[in-house]
A = this chain, B = another copy of it.
Amino acid sequence: MNFSPINPVGWVRQISLPRPGIGDNTADAERLCQALGRELGNRQVRIDWRLLPELPQMLRQGDFCVKATVFPGREGLVVIGLAPANSHSLPILGLAVDIGTTRVAIRLVDMETGQNLGETSFDNPQVAVGPDILSRIHFAHSPEGASELAGQIRSAIGRESQALAQRAGFDATRILAASVAGNTAMSHLFLGLPTANMIREPYIPVINHPGSWEAHALDLPFAPLARVFVFPNIGSYFGGDLVAGIMQTGMDQKQEVTMLVDVGTNAEVVVGNRDWLMACAGAAGPALEGGMSRIGMTAAPGAIDRVSIDPKTRSIAWHTIENKPPVGICGSGVIDLAAGLFLAGMMDIRGKLVPEACSGRLLEKDGLLSLVVVEKALSGTGENLCLDQTDLDSLTRSKAAMYTILRTLTLSVGVEMQNLAAFFVAGTFGSYIDPESAVTIGMLPDLDRSIFSGVGNTSLEGAALLLAQAGSDEKARKIAGRITYLELNVNQEFMNRFSAAKFYPHTDIARFPSVAKKLGAAPAA
C-alpha cells in the first residue's frame, strides 16, 4: 500500500486536548467531545458509551493527545473509535454502498487517508424474488417478507464486503463506518421497513431521514461500534441515491443552474443551484434500460453499446462492450440505433420503420416489421439480432416521457434549458450514452454537447464522499431539506406535451435546431 497523507477534512482526527487542572475540572468525556466538536464546525459530539470505561486510561496514555474517529450516529456525531495519538494501529475502514434495484456496488476506503482500497459490484439478491421494485414491495407486504428481503440484501453486502476487505488484506470487522445510498424502496427494504404505503396514494414512506444505524442491529459483520449512515429520501419516488448524487455533483453549491438526470425505468430529475433545488420523477418505461422484447439487455459484455449508420449506404456499424460477439443491445445502443435510423430515413418522424428505406434488412412476421441489426453469422447467439416495431414504439414512449419530464420540470421553475450550465447524466446509462444521439431522437434537449456530462454512479460516489468529508451528513440532510418535489400531475397539459414529444425529434422542430440542420443535409425519408 502506498503512503497516503491523512485526510484533513475526514472523520478521523488527531487532536490535542487541554490538560485538566484544578481550574479546569471538566470530565474526560466532555473534554474530548467539546474539543472534537470545535474541530468539526461547532457541532455537538458525543462518545459511544462503550468507549467510556477505557477513556480515562486512553487519554492519559496519549498525554491527552488522541486519534478519534467521529461519525454520524443516532445520537448525532459520535466518537466510535479512539486510540492514543501516534499509537501503531491498523487502518480504520469505511464502506460506501449503492443499493441499486438490479446491481449493488460497494467500495472500501481507508477512513484516515481517504484512499480507495478497492470496489466491486454484484447482483441485488432480491432480484430472485422480483426483478422490479413493485414485485418486491408486494413481497414485502407481510412482515416476514420484508424481513426476508432485508436479510437477503444485508447478507449479500456482508459477504461481499468481507471478500472485498480480505482482498485488501483486512477483515470486515475493521469496517467502522458505512454509508448507504439507494432509492427509497431499496433503502426501506435494506432496513426491513414495510413499503406497502409507498405504492398507494398518497405514497408515504415510513421514514425520510433514516439517519444512522448500528451495524450489529442490521446484522452486518462490521466492527462492534460500527455505524451505518443511510442517505435521506424526499419521498417514495426520490431517494437517497439522488440526494447522494446531488451532493456528488455539487449542484447544491453552484451559483449557476445545473440539472441532474438519472435514467432508468424511472427517470429522476433535479434542477437547481445553491439557492433552490426542484425535483421530479416519472416512469420512463423499460426501453432505456434495455428492457425490450428480445434484443434488449443491460450494459454487459456482448451488449451493443454503440451504433452508427451511414446515411448514404445505410450500412449499420456497431460496437459491443468488451468487444464480445453481440448478444443484445443496451440503452445507449438503442438510442444510437434510433438516431441513425432516423437520420438515414429508415425510420420516420413517428418512429415507424420505413420499409422502402430498410430494404434487405426487414423481416415481417404476423404483420409485425422487424429490422435485422446483426445477422446471425456475426451474432453471439447464433440468431439474427432483430429490433421490431414494438421495440421502437417502446423507445418512442420512453424518450417522449423523458423529454416531457424535463420540460415539465423546467417550465415549473421558469428556467430555459438553454441556460443550464451543466447537464449531468448519472448511472451506467449516463456513462455510455452519446448525447449526440440522445439529442437527435429528441430525448435530451438540443444544448451545446459540451454541457452534457456522464457522471457515472453518483450514488456510490456520493456515499464515498460521505465517508471522506466530515460534516457531509449534515450536507445530505440539508440537500434533502431544500429539495422541492414536483408531483407530476398527469393531466391534459402533460399529455399534450407528451404527445408532441412522441415525434422525432419533436413536433416543434425549432426546439432542435442542430437536428434540423442535420436533417436538411440528410436524404429525405
A residues whose Cβ falls under 8 Å from a Cβ of B? 20-30, 46, 49, 52-53, 55-57, 73-76, 143, 146, 191-194, 196-197, 201-209, 211, 213, 217, 233, 235-236, 485, 487
Contact call B20/A194, Cβ cutoff below 8 A: no
Contact call A193/B74, Cβ cutoff below 8 A: no
Residues of B contacting A236 in the complex (Cβ-Cβ under 8 angstroms)? 25
Residues of B contacting A143 in the complex (Cβ-Cβ under 8 angstroms)? 53
CB distance from A478 to the nearest CB of B (A): 15
With A27-B208, A236-B25: A192-B56 Cβ-Cβ less than 8 Å: no
Residues of B contacting A74 in the complex (Cβ-Cβ under 8 angstroms)? 46, 49, 73-75
The 26 sampled A-B contact pairs (Cβ below 8 Å) are A20-B202, A20-B204, A21-B202, A22-B202, A22-B487, A24-B202, A25-B485, A27-B204, A27-B207, A27-B208, A28-B197, A28-B204, A29-B207, A30-B207, A30-B208, A30-B209, A46-B74, A49-B74, A53-B193, A55-B206, A56-B194, A56-B197, A56-B204, A73-B75, A74-B75, A76-B76
CB distance from A233 to the nearest CB of B (A): 8
Residues of B contacting A29 in the complex (Cβ-Cβ under 8 angstroms)? 206-209
In the complex the two chains form, what is the Cα distance from A487 to B25 in whole Å? 10
Contact call B21/A205, Cβ cutoff below 8 A: no
In the complex the two chains form, what is the Cα distance from A30 to B53 in whole Å? 35
Residues of B contacting A53 in the complex (Cβ-Cβ under 8 angstroms)? 143, 146, 192-194, 206
Residues of B contacting A197 in the complex (Cβ-Cβ under 8 angstroms)? 28, 56
Residues of B contacting A23 in the complex (Cβ-Cβ under 8 angstroms)? 487
Residues of B contacting A193 in the complex (Cβ-Cβ under 8 angstroms)? 52-53
Residues of B contacting A202 in the complex (Cβ-Cβ under 8 angstroms)? 20-22, 24-25
Contact of A25 among B22, B30, B192, B203 (CB under 8 A): B203
Contact of A49 among B25, B75, B213, B487 (CB under 8 A): B213
Residues of B contacting A235 in the complex (Cβ-Cβ under 8 angstroms)? 25, 27
A197 nearest CB neighbor, chain B only: B56
CB distance from A279 to the nearest CB of B (A): 13
Residues of B contacting A25 in the complex (Cβ-Cβ under 8 angstroms)? 202-204, 235-236, 485, 487
